Each structure stands twice: as structure tokens, then as C-alpha cells.
Amino acid sequence: MRLIRHDKTGLAGERASVSAATRSPIRDTARRKSWRAIAALVVVMVVTLVLQAAAGPRRAVVLEIDGAIGPAIADYVSRELTAVRPSDTGLVILRIDTPGGLDTSMREIIRAILASPVPVGAYVAPSGARAASAGTYITYACAIAAMAPGTNLGAATPVQLQGLPLLPGGQPQPPAKGNEGNETAGTRKAGSAPNAEPEDTETRKVLNDSVAYIRSLAELNGRNADWATEAVRGAVSLSAADALKLHVIDVVANNVPDLLRQADGRTVMVAGKPELLATAGLQAIIVAPDWRTQLLAVITNPNIAYLLMLLGAYGLIFELMNPGTVLPGTVGAISLLTALFAFNMLPVDYAGAGLVLLGIALLVAEAFIGTFGALGAGGIIAFLFGSIMMFHGNAPGFGLSLSVVLAATVVSAGVLLLGLALLLRSRRRPIITGGEAMIGADGEIVEWNGTTGTVRINGEIWQAHCQDALQSGTLVDVIGRKGLAVTVKPRDNRDN
């Protein structure tokens, strides 16, 4: 029995050993296959990343500068340049069509261009577009400068307005004496003085600052600095073909794909370092201004900001005249705060704004005091002059429309005339409240004794005095009142 039991145990052990020995190679094989699959996946991912890195960015971002350069455009360009990444963007193109704009906004855009880690190109397009004044500075600041056929740039002379340089697109200034008819914008000898130096010290400071600024941009990107000086001092302009000949721009391109093709392989300065452009085959993607930019463009329009200020002032005045109305005060406060935000971003003459508010105050005072037009006339004059002074029309897109000023003045004058008409009408009306309302009222004697008695007036019994002896039932007229007693006289003979 023991021998048989021993044999069975030994047989089971042998079977177990054989089974374990068989399963071990299978597990090892499965593990090796798993590790191979993981390794292959890692290799594929690495190769994909390497190929993507080798392929480089596959898009070119197009930003549109269309119209006057102001706070809205500067905010839009700055935000988009900050958002782009070199890993997926090979070039940012500023498609420009502008008559000029504010100096502060222009410099904000240029700072964003020079700090961008991605190359930035300026493209004056489409045909018929221009990069005047501030647009010329921006074009000089970009790593690549291009123009479409039929476009122009230049006229970069600054205009000093109350200490804030503006850069409007204007007409070229006449050449210096002795040069009439001999030189043109594109052929004047470099270094010649197109205009005499201005006598005003402040103007010279602004002019020389602008010249130094645009020359530094020209030297940064290796462009014609002498012509840039002429564009500032003489307000000269160039066509696309002449700009290419004078090395003011780098490329004349028919469209964005043509620009990308011609820019490929050029070496430019990006954030102070040379960089080789690889723009062939990039997909151009237009990034239009978003709702924030559009809203900012609306409220920084001088006409809108001016109307918001008026709406705010009149709303608050109406609320103070009628406390508890709520809606005029709410709308007025919101409008006034929005207008102040816009004024903070615009070149506003605050003396003009003060005159406008003074004019409104005088009109309101006229309605309350009633000087028969003296304060009202002064208010209208202050309102009109202040409105004209608030914004300066020689900054393109940032001048106050004369039609808006006249319409606002007419409306304010209409409010004044309406107030005066109501005042005169109210003075012609008989008094119906207070002690004076008793004067001229009809009465009937109730009782009388000597010179005193009682009289019924409008259903009320009053103590009465009269120098004449009266009888009950006599009709009388009230000629005076003192306290709770009235003075009467017998009614004249007339129809009862």
C-alpha cells in the first residue's frame, strides 16, 4: 500500500513540474511581445514629433489694419502678436490700408512687432490702398515690407496737438525754395533738406524725434533711412515700384501667396536675432478683429464718445431734477463712465470738454432761474465752442464731425427754447395755489356788521373786512388777504 501511494505522489509531482516548465516560456514570450509593442509605439511617436519639428510651422497669420490707427487697432494687433507661437506660425502679415492715426497707438503696435518671436511682415494691400503717416512707420518696423501694385506709402510728417504727436495722412508740403520743379518724391537727392527747419522749438523737437525714430527702424531692418527722413520732413510719398527701387520695401507682391513665395529664403531680424524665413507653402489664415476690438472701435470713435458724454450729462441732470426715476440716472452714469474711458484713450482737449459741460450747466440754470435767454445764450456759445475744441480734425478718423456738433447744439438750444416757452406760459397763467390764488376770487356776504363780517368764497367761509357797509347776499371780489382774513370790495356792476 505504501509503495503504491508513493508512486502516485511521485507521478503527480512530475506532472506538475512538466506543466510549470511548459507555462514559463509562454509567459516570457507574451511579456517580450508586450514590451516590443510599447517600444514600437514610442518609436512611432518620437518619429512623428521629429517629423513635425522638421516640417516646421504650417501657417501664416494675416492681421488686417484697415482704417485709422487708434486704440482698437493697437489692442487687436498687440493681442494677436502675443498669442502666436513660433511652433505653428511661420510669419505674421499685417495687411495695411490706413491714412494714419494716433502716435501712441502706432508706437504700441511697433513695440509689439519688435518684441514678437515670430517674423512680422507689412503688406500694403489691396491695390489702391495706402500706408500713409503712421502706416509708414509700421511698415519700416516690420521684418518684411511688401506692397501690392497700385499702392503708396509715405507722408509721415507728425502734427503736434497739445503735446500729443499725431500722425495724420496729409498732403505733401511744398519743396524748399530753389527746388521747385527740379525734384520729386522719388528722385530727390538723399540728404537734401526738403523743407526749412521750423522756427518753433516744440515743433522741431517733435519733428526731430520722429526722424530719429523712423531712421532707427530703417537701420534695424536695413532699409533706406534717407528716404524715411524725407518722408517725415517733407511728407513725400512713393508708389510701390519706386519704393522697391529705392529699397524702401523688399517685395512687390500681387497677393499673400505671392508674398509668401518671394519671402521664402530671406534672412530677417526677429527679436534682435537673424532668422531664415521658410514661408513657401504656408497656409494663410486671416484672423479678423473680434467683438472686443469692434466694441472698442465703436466707443473710441470721437462722435460716439461725444454723444455718450452728452447722454450721460443730461441723464444725470434729469435724475437730479426728478429723484427716484432711476432709469435716466442709470443710463446717464453708464454713458458718462464709458465716455470717460474713451476720452482716456483719445487725444482730447479737456478745456473743450469743460466748456461743453459749462454750456450744459448754463442751459440748465436758464431753465431754473429764468433770465430770459442771457444764461441760455452763453450756454449755447460755450457748448458750441467747446464741442469744436474737444477733438482735432487733422487726425484722420479721430476728428469730431461738424454735423454731429451742430445737431447736438441745435437739440440743446431746442431744449432751452422749450424751457423758456414753458416758463413764459406759466407766468401768464393765473395763480391757483397759495395765498395769491385768493386775489380776484368771487365771494358772497354771509353776515356783516359795520366793516367786518363773513364771506363765502369757493364754498369756504372766511373772515372779511371792507370799508363799505355791506348786506348779506352782496357779491364781492377779494382784493387782499392777511392770514385767515380777506379784504373785499363790492363787485362792480357787471353780469352775474
Q: Which three cell numbers stand for residue 234?
A: 517733407
pLDDT above 60 for 22: no
Confidence band, pLDDT 50/70/90 cuts, at residue 174: very low
Confidence band, pLDDT 50/70/90 cuts, at residue 130: very high
121 and 149 part of one domain? yes
Instruction: Tell me whether residue 30 is in a domain.
Output: yes
What's the confidence (pLDDT) of residue 182? 36
Alpha helix ranges (H) inside 221-301: 225-233, 240-245, 256-263, 291-299
Instruction: Tell me whether residue 409 is in a domain.
Output: yes
Instruction: Tell me whether residue 27 is in a domain.
Output: yes
Residues 116-127: tens digit of each pLDDT? 999 999 999 999
Instruction: Tell me whether residue 243 is in a domain.
Output: yes
Contact residues for 374 (Cβ-Cβ < 8 A; gap 6+): 366
Q: Which three cell numbers stand for residue 361?
A: 450747466
What's the confidence (pLDDT) of residue 193? 43
What does the pLDDT average to over 467-493?
A: 83
Handedness of CA 143, 149, 155, 161 (dihedral sign): negative
Ranges 10-24, 40-54, 200-214, 430-444: which has the least confidence? 10-24
Instruction: Tell me whether residue 308 is in a domain.
Output: yes
* Pick from 388, 167, 397, 402: nearest CA to 298: 397
Structurally, how many domains does the chain consist of?
4
* Percent of the chain whose pLDDT exceeds 70: 75
218 and 143 part of one domain? yes
CATH of the domain at 457: 2.40.50.140
346 and 484 part of one domain? no
354 and 473 part of one domain? no
Confidence band, pLDDT 50/70/90 cuts, at residue 142: very high
Instruction: Tell me whether residue 7 is in a domain.
Output: yes
355 and 330 part of one domain? yes
203 and 283 part of one domain? yes
Among the candidates 388, 410, 428, a domain finishes at 428
204 and 224 part of one domain? yes
What does the pLDDT average to over 228-241?
A: 91
Residues 208-227: tens digit of each pLDDT? 899 999 999 999 999 999 99
The residue behind cell 516590443 is: 36
* Pick from 270, 231, 262: nearest CA to 130: 231
Instruction: Tell me whether residue 351 is in a domain.
Output: yes
The residue behind cell 474737444 is: 390
267 and 347 part of one domain? no
pLDDT above 60 for 184: no
Selected residue with higher pLDDT from 257 and 320: 257
Confidence band, pLDDT 50/70/90 cuts, at residue 25: low
Alpha helix ranges (H) inside 176-200: none
* Percent of the chain whose pLDDT exceeds 90: 29
Confidence band, pLDDT 50/70/90 cuts, at residue 2: very low
What does the pLDDT average to over 145-149?
A: 95
Q: Label each residue of 112-130 as H, E or C.
A: HHHHCCCCEEEEECCCCCE
Instruction: Tell me whether residue 408 is in a domain.
Output: yes
Ranges 99-108, 328-337, 355-364, 417-426: which has the least confidence? 417-426
153 and 201 part of one domain? yes
The residue behind cell 521664402 is: 264
Confidence band, pLDDT 50/70/90 cuts, at residue 72: very high
Amino acid residing at 335: S
Among the candidates 265, 292, 319, a domain finishes at 292
- pTM here? 0.66
CB 319 within 8 A of CB 325: yes
Structural domain containing residue 480? 435-490
Task: For residue 222, count other CB atoms closer than 10 A to its CB.
Answer: 11
63 and 51 part of one domain? no
DSSP notation for 467-488: SS---TT-EEEEEEEETTEEEE
Residues 324-378: tens digit of each pLDDT? 778 888 998 999 899 888 888 887 888 888 888 888 888 777 766 766 667 878 8
CB 427 within 8 A of CB 419: no
What's the confidence (pLDDT) of residue 325? 77
Longest dimension (CA), the chain: 166
Among the candidates 390, 409, 428, a domain finishes at 428
460 and 315 part of one domain? no
What does the pLDDT average to over 428-453?
A: 74
What does the pLDDT average to over 82-107?
A: 91
Mean pLDDT of the chain: 79
81 and 200 part of one domain? yes
